[in-house]
A and B are shown apart, each in its own frame.
Chain A
Amino acid sequence: MPLEIQEFNLSEERLEFRDTLRRFFEESSPITEVRRVMEGDSTGFAPDLWKVASEELGLAGIAISEDLGGQGFGLKELSIALGEVGRSLAPIPLFASAALAGRVVAAVGGEDADAFLRSIAEGEAATLAWVEAHGDWDPAAVRMEIAEQGAEIRLTGEKQFVVGAHAARRFFVIAREPGSHCDEGMGLFSVEANAEGVAIDAKESFDLTQPLATLRLDGALAKRVGHQGEAAPGIRIGLDEATALLTAEMVGGMQKVLETAVDYAAERHQFSRPIGSFQAIKHKCADLLIDFEGSRTAADAAVMASAEGDPERSLLASVAKSHVGPAGLRMATESGQIQGGVGYTWEYDAHLYYRRALASAVMLGDETMHQERLARLVASRRLEGAAQ
């Protein structure tokens, strides 16, 4: 009997929602389909699947309010959907569009935000482009400056490691006022994908099922989102929310990795006994469970904190990301080991999850970045506490 992991902190409605999505991805995006897209081109995008997922299931706008054409659910529901994407490796830009672009735009706000969110909810995929060649995930490290010509804003330069670039109809780009530093002068700008001076370079990516791209802008026309000089706090909140949501997606993959390994250990026989009866393998499986339990608990706490606007939102996002990243990589490594030679083949799916685990551990900051942020956050909180 295959291992079935019991969910926690899910109401009956949410559990039903999860079941529906799981069936949907199993039927519409089995791993054979994922591989077909992966081997087809370098876009990492299945437009037909995305159309069904966003138009029929409404996933693109699941956390966007109904008056903007969304489903009016919250971040918890979005995290459930992302978990199923992580589990199936479905080649759709749900994370890029709904979590990354969607949350940052919603948090920055301003007059045009509603229209942007409406188009995201309709399935017009978007993504966020902010990291530059230096590879620093902190938006304060952005150097790209805007050029204003009369009422027009134009952007020139490169944004790296963009996820969901080929699916995106619109890019949200973080750039800054000329001569500004850190959070001051940080701004969010929308750029249409088909505008003049916009080019996408696919990158050969370690994660085969979610390739990255470089966005090259050459005087591309941009539109400011939110108010001048006021974007930074929203950008930071949006990125924290996206970080929490990313850990939920990662946990979806980790659950699949755990189930695969444990099922294999129970079925595969050597020396006339199931390999799972050997303690070396059994203890690896126990460690997979330990990593999985800690990770899903941390991811859930981070998502709930974001959903509720908890003041500990940033802190809990960093707790989750710093914990889930290395745990996911350990799990993918050991799960492959448990599967022996087949776990090392191209044909088996172990490497696809391994690749995703490594890339996701880096995306939005690796564990050292989040650990450092935690130490700073706790220290300043203690100082404030002492000052009161």
Chain B
Amino acid sequence: MRREDTPEEAAFRQEVRSWLEANAELRSEQLAAPLDHSPEAEARAWEAMKVWQRTKYEGGWAAITWPEAYGGRGGTPIQQMIFNEEQSNFDVPIGFIAASLGMIGPALMRYGSEDQKKYLPAMLRGDEVWCQLFSEPEAGSDLAAVRTRGHVEGDELVINGQKVWTTSANFADKGFIVLRTNPDVPKHDGISFALIDMNQPGVEVRPLVTMRGDRHFNEVFLTDVRTPLDHVVNGIDCGWPVTTFTLMNEGAFIGMTVNSLTTATAMIDSARETGRLEEGVVRQRLGEAYARERVLKQLQDRIKASLLDGRAPDVDGSVLKILTSEWGHERAVTATWLQGAAGMLTGADAPGMGVWQDQVLARGSMAVGGGTLEVHRNGLGERALRLPKEPRFDRDKPFKDLKTSG
């Protein structure tokens, strides 16, 4: 399981580390100021993320496993893993860009035309950032229920409808969108997957504020938005396989980075400093948080080990997603509990600049975003354990005849 680097891997790791040392700062163990969720701060963070992406691109590290033809390094999954491990020790703004290109990149490489693949290098450079226009008010877990319409007009697709929960749509340059192009056939058979330009009239983006206070996601209203027909991926009405493929890749990103500020070890440190480690119940709860963190790491190591052997991961990704989400939230609640009465405060007035309070509120990003916990449990039951599916009423009828909330 845990194995030493081979000499080549060790050399590669050293190369990565030297490059990171020259281009980034090590992570610090303390927040200097409370997390800032103002729009100005978010815009600055977005710029910083683009700069880091570009820096990585210029160093040849933006996407290690992608072919060189698309701006990648033509390297191995193991090398990507080593890079991620080393990068996690540095204070670098990763996040949305990495997640986004991890979804759309592989989908274009697999299903895209040669013209569509021309978007890949700009994506890697961070020059064009892509947002995921999937969810709608009436299509969340049931993504195949999308209603946003696409009509063919000449050699263009004309799009009308509404998307919601679109992460970073307020900053994004491009979007990949799931549309209904044929309502007269069963739901999965009338869906198309298209690439659109976000900077055009008819795309109206309205930020939504999350319970954390940030503007993580947006509503996106689309009125006569146009995109060339050759920007439809895999052909009209053939978008569902592309959609499920990108969702699979979304899962692969989950749970792979650790923020050292919010670890069980950081909790044990602070309990030691405040003297509360003398209490048995404190040791028990922190010991539990620590054990979970190690178990999660061991599960990740198992996935890595299968990658190293060139096998399909032998732990279902949903196991990791569920544990990362549930244990992460419980750990944050334990951390605020450990603060006693001060746990009722937040921001600069709370211990540790309120980083734990922020984590408590971040629950939904993992428990809902990227598929809800319930949907992932369905997946474990049906995919990993091969239990029978629930009876369904929406498979064979034309989409336009199906029941909805409204």
Q: Which of B87-95, B211-219, B288-296 contacts A (4 or more CB under 8 A)?
A: B288-296
Interface string of A286-301 (1 = CB under 8 A from B): 1101100110011011
Contact B387 A316 (CB under 8 A): no
Shortest A90–chain B CB gap in Å is 27
Asked if A323 CB lies within 8 Å of chain B CBs, one says yes
Given the interface pairs A323-B291, A378-B268, A382-B272, the reply to whether A279 lies near B298 with Cβ below 8 Å is: no
Inter-chain contact total with CB atoms closer than 8 Å:
149
Asked if B209 CB lies within 8 Å of chain A CBs, one says no
Shortest B313–chain A CB gap in Å is 10
A265 to B385, CA, bound (A): 10
A319 / chain B contacts, CB cutoff of 8 Å: 290-291, 294-295
Asked if A370 CB lies within 8 Å of chain B CBs, one says yes
B283 / chain A contacts, CB cutoff of 8 Å: 371-372, 375-376
B382 / chain A contacts, CB cutoff of 8 Å: 282
Asked if B32 CB lies within 8 Å of chain A CBs, one says no
A286 to B376, CA, bound (A): 9
Contact A293 B387 (CB under 8 A): no
Given the interface pairs A372-B283, A375-B277, A375-B286, the reply to whether A279 lies near B319 with Cβ below 8 Å is: no
Interface string of A244-268 (1 = CB under 8 A from B): 0000000000000000001001100
A298 to B297, CA, bound (A): 10
A265 / chain B contacts, CB cutoff of 8 Å: 387
Interface string of A374-388 (1 = CB under 8 A from B): 111011001100000
**Residue from B1, B384, B385 having most chain A Cβ neighbours under 10 A:** B385
Asked if A318 CB lies within 8 Å of chain B CBs, one says yes
Interface string of B346-384 (1 = CB under 8 A from A): 000000000000000000000000000010011011101
Asked if B287 CB lies within 8 Å of chain A CBs, one says yes
Asked if A181 CB lies within 8 Å of chain B CBs, one says no
A276 / chain B contacts, CB cutoff of 8 Å: 381, 385, 387-388
Asked if A88 CB lies within 8 Å of chain B CBs, one says no
Among B298, B388, B391, the residue within 8 A (CB) of A266 is B388
Contact B386 A294 (CB under 8 A): no
Asked if A283 CB lies within 8 Å of chain B CBs, one says yes
Contact B389 A277 (CB under 8 A): yes
A376 / chain B contacts, CB cutoff of 8 Å: 277, 283
Assign chain A's interface to a size class: 35 or more
Contact A8 B314 (CB under 8 A): yes
A50-90 residues with Cβ-Cβ distance < 8 A to B are none
Contact A375 B386 (CB under 8 A): no
Given the interface pairs A300-B1, A372-B284, the reply to whether A289 lies near B384 with Cβ below 8 Å is: yes
A323 to B289, CA, bound (A): 10
Asked if B285 CB lies within 8 Å of chain A CBs, one says yes
Asked if B265 CB lies within 8 Å of chain A CBs, one says yes
**Residue from A298, A316, A374 having most chain B Cβ neighbours under 10 A:** A374
Contact B385 A297 (CB under 8 A): no
Asked if A15 CB lies within 8 Å of chain B CBs, one says no
A383 / chain B contacts, CB cutoff of 8 Å: 272
Shortest B257–chain A CB gap in Å is 19
Residue on A nearest B285 in the bound complex, by CB? A371
Interface string of B84-124 (1 = CB under 8 A from A): 00000000000000000000000000000000000000000
Contact A286 B287 (CB under 8 A): no
Residue on B nearest A382 in the bound complex, by CB? B269
A21-67 residues with Cβ-Cβ distance < 8 A to B are none
Asked if B390 CB lies within 8 Å of chain A CBs, one says yes
Asked if B81 CB lies within 8 Å of chain A CBs, one says no
A323 / chain B contacts, CB cutoff of 8 Å: 291-292, 295
Shortest B204–chain A CB gap in Å is 38
Among A286, A287, A379, the residue within 8 A (CB) of B268 is A379
Asked if B302 CB lies within 8 Å of chain A CBs, one says yes
Among B280, B287, B298, B381, the residue within 8 A (CB) of A374 is B287
A304 / chain B contacts, CB cutoff of 8 Å: 1-2
A244 to B161, CA, bound (A): 57
Contact A286 B380 (CB under 8 A): yes
Interface string of A171-195 (1 = CB under 8 A from B): 0000000000000000000000000
Asked if A18 CB lies within 8 Å of chain B CBs, one says no
Among A9, A287, A367, A372, the residue within 8 A (CB) of B305 is A9
Asked if A273 CB lies within 8 Å of chain B CBs, one says yes
A278 / chain B contacts, CB cutoff of 8 Å: 390
Contact B286 A274 (CB under 8 A): no
Contact A285 B381 (CB under 8 A): yes
A304 to B288, CA, bound (A): 21
A302 to B271, CA, bound (A): 26
Asked if A322 CB lies within 8 Å of chain B CBs, one says yes
Asked if A270 CB lies within 8 Å of chain B CBs, one says no
Contact B294 A298 (CB under 8 A): yes
A368 to B285, CA, bound (A): 8
A283 to B384, CA, bound (A): 12
Asked if A3 CB lies within 8 Å of chain B CBs, one says yes
B319 / chain A contacts, CB cutoff of 8 Å: 289-290, 293-294
Asked if A154 CB lies within 8 Å of chain B CBs, one says no
A376 to B272, CA, bound (A): 10
Contact B265 A322 (CB under 8 A): no
Among B305, B315, B387, the residue within 8 A (CB) of A285 is B387
Contact A286 B377 (CB under 8 A): yes
Shortest A282–chain B CB gap in Å is 4
A294 / chain B contacts, CB cutoff of 8 Å: 295, 299, 319, 323
Asked if A149 CB lies within 8 Å of chain B CBs, one says no
Residue on A nearest B388 in the bound complex, by CB? A277
Given the interface pairs A277-B389, A372-B284, the reply to whether A287 lies near B295 with Cβ below 8 Å is: no
A371 / chain B contacts, CB cutoff of 8 Å: 283-288, 290-291
Contact B390 A277 (CB under 8 A): yes
A285 / chain B contacts, CB cutoff of 8 Å: 380-381, 385, 387
Given the interface pairs A273-B391, A374-B287, the reply to whether A298 lies near B268 with Cβ below 8 Å is: no
A300 to B295, CA, bound (A): 11
What 8 pairs between A and B have smallest CB-CB spacing? A371-B287, A282-B381, A286-B380, A375-B283, A374-B287, A276-B387, A286-B377, A372-B283
User: What would 15 more interface pairs be, CB under 8 Å, given A265-B387, A316-B294, A372-B287?
Assistant: A6-B314, A8-B302, A266-B388, A277-B388, A277-B391, A289-B385, A290-B319, A294-B295, A297-B302, A322-B291, A371-B285, A371-B287, A374-B291, A375-B271, A375-B286
10 A–B contacts, CB within 8 A, in A order: A262-B385, A282-B377, A282-B382, A289-B380, A304-B1, A318-B291, A322-B288, A323-B292, A373-B287, A378-B264
Chain A residues at the B interface, C-beta cutoff of 8 Å: 1, 3, 6, 8-9, 262, 265-266, 273-274, 276-279, 282-283, 285-287, 289-290, 293-294, 297-298, 300-301, 304, 316, 318-319, 322-323, 367-368, 370-376, 378-379, 382-383
